[in-house]
Amino acid sequence: MHRLHDDVTACATGDGMVLLDERAGHYWQLNGTGALIVQALLDGATPAQAAERLAATRPVTPERATADVTALVAHLATAGLVTDS
């Protein structure tokens, strides 16, 4: 299961989500698609389930949804915002 690092706070916005890394004082703004993915993961979905949810609610193919979820999770992990536990 993916979760946010203990020092990262998520806040929904009108058109997406903001992640604040309190360690570094940096924030990331996610669009609606990124917010959907992160929220699905925070709700306990696997990346595959998040991709299914994305494909069911957005005009993308399952393959594109899987690629988008994989890319976002990798980016967030590289930035130290998520942990895999």
- Domain count of the chain? 1
Is the pTM above the cut of 0.85?
Answer: yes
pLDDT tens digits in sequence order for the chain, 85 residues long:
478 889 999 999 999 999 999 998 999 999 999 999 999 999 999 999 999 999 999 999 999 999 999 999 999 999 989 887 6
Return the CATH number at 61: 3.90.930
Distance CA 4, CA 21 (A): 10
**Residue 30 belongs to what domain range?**
2-79
Cα–Cα nearest to 26, from 9, 4, 2, 40: 9
Task: Determine, yes or no, domain membership for 85.
Answer: no
Distance CA 6, CA 45 (A): 19
Task: Determine, yes or no, domain membership for 84.
Answer: no
